[in-house]
Amino acid sequence: MKLVIAQMKHETNTFSPVPTPLSRFATSAESPPEGLAAVAAYRGTGSAIAAFIDLAEAAGADYRVAIAAAASPSGPVHDAAFEHIAGRVLAAVAEGCDGLLLDLHGAMVTQSHDDGEGELLRRIRAIAPALPIGVALDMHTNLYDAMAEHCHVIAGYHTYPHVDVYETGQRAGRALLAMLAGQAKPTMAWGRRPMLPHVMRQGSDDSPNRELQARCREIEAEGAHCASIFVGFPNADIEFAGLSAVVVTDDDAALAQRWTEELLDLAWAQRAAFVYPQEPLAQSIQRAQQIAAAKPAGSGPVVLLDHSDNCASGGTMDTMTVLGAVLDAGLDGVAAFAIFDPAAVQLMIQAGVGAQVTLALGGKLDMPAIGLTGQPRTVTGKVRLISDGRYTNLGPMFRGEASDMGASAVLDTGRVQIVVISDHVEPHDLAAFTAVGIAPERVKFLMLKSRIHWRAGLRSLAHAVVDCAGTGVCSSDYGLLGLHRVRRPIYPIDAI
Choice between 139 and 411, CB closer to Zn ion: 139
Which one of the spans 95-103, 138-146, 321-329, 426-434 is the region binding Zn ion (CB under 5 A)?
138-146
Per CB under 5 A, the segment of 26-34, 140-148, 215-223, 379-387 that binds Zn ion is 140-148
Burial classification of residue 182, based on how many CB atoms lie within 10 Å of its CB (0-12 exposed, 13-18 middle, 19 or more buried): exposed
| Smallest gap from residue 410 Cβ to Zn ion (A) | 29
Pick one of 103, 119, 138, 423: the residue that binds Zn ion (CB under 5 A).
Answer: 138
Q: Which is nearer to Zn ion, 136 or 372 (CB)?
A: 136
Q: Which of 9, 78, 140, 449 binds Zn ion (CB under 5 A)?
A: 140
Taking the complex as a whole, the smallest distance from the CB of residue 461 to Zn ion amounts, in Å, to 22
Main-chain dihedrals φ then ψ at residue 420, nearest 5 degrees: -120, 130
- DSSP assignment of 177-192: HHHHTTS--EEEEEEE
DSSP assignment string, 62-111 = EEEEEEEEE--SBSPBPHHHHHHHHHHHHHHHHT--SEEEEEE-S---BS
Output phi, psi for 448, to 5 deg: -125, 135
Q: In this structure, are residues 4 and 64 in contact, taking their beta carbons and an 8 Å threshold?
A: yes
Q: Which is nearer to Zn ion, 140 or 444 (CB)?
A: 140
Looking at beta carbons only, is 132 or 169 nearer to Zn ion?
Answer: 169
Query: How many residues does this entry show for the chain?
Result: 496
- DSSP, collapsed to helix, strand or coil, labels residue 40 as helix
For residues 142 and 187, which CB has a smaller minimum distance to Zn ion in the complex? Answer: 142
Stretch that binds Zn ion, among 30-38, 137-145, 280-288, 469-477 (CB under 5 A): 137-145
Query: Could you tell me the smallest distance in angstroms from the CB atom of residue 351 to Zn ion?
Result: 38
Q: Measured from the CB of residue 88, what is the shortest distance to Zn ion in angstroms? A: 24
In terms of CB distance, is 314 or 470 closer to Zn ion? 314
| Start-to-end Cα distance in the chain | 50
Residue among 138 and 309 whose Cβ is closer to Zn ion: 138
Q: Which residues contact 398 (CB under 8 A, 6 or more apart)?
A: 45, 46, 47, 165, 428, 429
Helix (H) or strand (E) holding 36: helix 35-42
Q: Which residue is nearest to Zn ion (CB)?
A: 140
List, in sequence order, every residue forming a beta bridge with 247; answer none if it has no partner: 189, 227
| Residue 18, amino acid | V
Which of these ranges, 50-58, 139-147, 168-176, 235-243, lies near Zn ion under the rule CB under 5 A? 139-147
Min CB(286)–Zn ion separation in Å: 32
Q: What is the DSSP letter of 146?
A: H
Residues 294-313 that bind Zn ion (CB under 5 A): none
C-beta of 48: minimal distance to Zn ion in Å?
12
With respect to Zn ion, which residue has the nearer C-beta, 17 or 73?
73
Query: Which span sits near Zn ion by CB under 5 A: 134-142, 346-354, 383-391, 459-467?
Result: 134-142
Residue numbers 161-200 binding Zn ion by CB under 5 A:
none
In angstroms, give the least distance from the CB of 65 to Zn ion. Answer: 22
The C-alpha atoms of residue 266 and residue 26 are separated, in whole angstroms, by: 39
Q: How far is the CB of 323 from Zn ion (least distance, A)?
A: 25
State the number of binding residues for Zn ion (CB under 5 A).
2
Nearer to Zn ion, 186 or 457 (CB): 457
Least separation, in Å, of the C-beta of 136 and Zn ion? 12
Residues 6+ apart with CB under 8 A from 215: 227, 229, 262, 263, 266
Nearest approach, Cβ of residue 228 and Zn ion (Å) = 13
Of 160 and 391, the one with the shorter C-beta distance to Zn ion is 160
349-357 long-range Cβ contacts below 8 angstroms, 24+ apart: 349/386, 349/407, 349/409, 351/383, 352/383, 353/383, 353/384, 353/385, 353/386, 354/382, 354/383, 355/382, 355/383, 356/380, 356/381, 356/382, 357/381, 357/382, 357/383, 357/411
Judged by CB, which is closer to Zn ion: 88, or 399? 399
The reply on whether position 237 binds Zn ion by CB under 5 A is no
Of 133-141, 163-171, 321-329, 456-464, the segment contacting Zn ion by CB under 5 A is 133-141
**With respect to Zn ion, which residue has the nearer C-beta, 78 or 451?**
451
Minimum CB separation of residue 142 from Zn ion in Å reads: 11
Cβ–Cβ under 8 Å, residues 14 and 237: yes
Helices (H), 164-224: 165-180, 209-221
Q: How far apart are CA 304 and CA 496, in angstroms?
A: 33
Strand order in the sheet with 377-387: 356-361, 377-387, 408-412, 416-421, 334-340, 445-448, 302-306, 464-468
CB of 296 to Zn ion, least distance (A): 35
Of residues 339-368, those binding Zn ion (CB under 5 A): none
Q: Which residues bind Zn ion (CB under 5 A)?
A: 138, 140
